[in-house]
C-alpha cells in the first residue's frame, strides 16, 4: 500500500508498553514512562527542571526515515510539560533505549510522572541526506544577511 517501512520495536523489559496510536489515523504514537526498578514507580519533575524519562523500548524505522519524539499537546497546555529538545530525533542507526527529555515550564507546580504515563509521541518522518559542499560565498537573496526579526516584527 505504501513504501513506509514498519516501525520495529523491541521491548527491553517485559512490562514496558509498546507505542500506540489513540486513533487509527493519528500520525503520532503515544509512548509511556518506564522505570527499571519496582521501588521507583514515579518521579517528581520540579518547576524549571528537566529529566530524561526512559520508555523501556528501542525502535527503528529503516533507511531514509527517522523517528521524531514530540510533545503531547495536553501535557503542554494543562501542565507546562514538554519535550525539551522537541522534536527529538531517533536516527535510523540508533539502537539504545528511547529516552524522552521532559521539562517542566511551570513556575509553581511540580509534576508527577508515573510509570506507564503517556509522556510523548513518536512520529515517522522522511530524511533527506544532503551532501555538504564548502563554498567561498553563498548565492545572494532578497533577504540578504538580515538576522532574526529582519523580515518584520508583527
Query: How confident is the model over 36-77, as pLDDT tens digits?
Result: 877 789 999 999 999 999 999 999 998 999 999 999 999 999
* 47's grid cell: 518547576
Could you tell me the CATH superfamily of domain 8-126?
Deoxyuridine triphosphatase (dUTPase) (2.70.40.10)
Q: Bridge-partner residues for 118, per DSSP? A: 32
* 26's grid cell: 493519528
pTM metric for this prediction: 0.88
* 77's grid cell: 497546555
Handedness of CA 38, 9, 84, 76 (dihedral sign): negative
Across 36-45, 73-82, 105-114, 121-130, least confident range: 36-45
Q: Where are the domains of the chain?
A: 8-126
Sequence-distant (≥ 6) Cβ neighbours of residue 70 within 8 angstroms: 28, 83, 86, 87, 88, 120, 121, 122, 123
Average pLDDT over residues 1-25: 91
What is the Cα–Cα distance from 16 to 90, expressed in whole angstroms?
A: 18
What is the Cα–Cα distance from 94 to 92, expressed in whole angstroms?
A: 6
| Residue 115 pLDDT | 95
Amino acid at each position: 500500500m505504501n513504501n513506509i517501512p514498519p516501525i520495529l520495536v523491541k521491548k527491553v523489559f517485559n512490562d514496558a508498553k509498546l507505542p500506540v496510536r489513540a486513533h487509527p489515523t493519528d500520525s503520532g504514537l503515544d509512548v509511556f514512562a518506564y522505570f527499571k526498578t519496582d521501588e521507583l514507580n514515579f518521579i517528581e519533575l520540579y518547576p524549571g527542571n528537566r529529566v530524561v524519562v526512559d520508555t523501556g523500548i528501542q525502535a527503528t524505522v529503516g533507511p531514509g526515515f527517522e523517528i521524531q519524539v514530540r510533545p503531547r499537546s495536553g501535557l503542554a497546555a494543562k501542565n507546562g510539560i514538554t519535550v525539551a529538545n522537541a522534536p527529538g530525533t531517533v536516527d535510523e542507526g540508533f539502537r539504545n533505549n528511547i529516552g524522552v527529555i521532559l521539562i517542566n515550564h511551570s513556575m509553581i507546580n511540580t509534576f508527577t510522572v508515573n510509570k506507564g504515563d503517556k509522556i510523548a509521541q513518536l512520529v515517522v518522518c522522511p530524511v533527506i541526506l544532503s551532501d555538504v559542499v564548502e563554498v567561498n560565498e553563498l548565492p545572494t537573496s532578497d533577504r540578504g544577511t538580515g538576522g532574526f526579526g529582519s523580515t518584520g516584527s508583527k
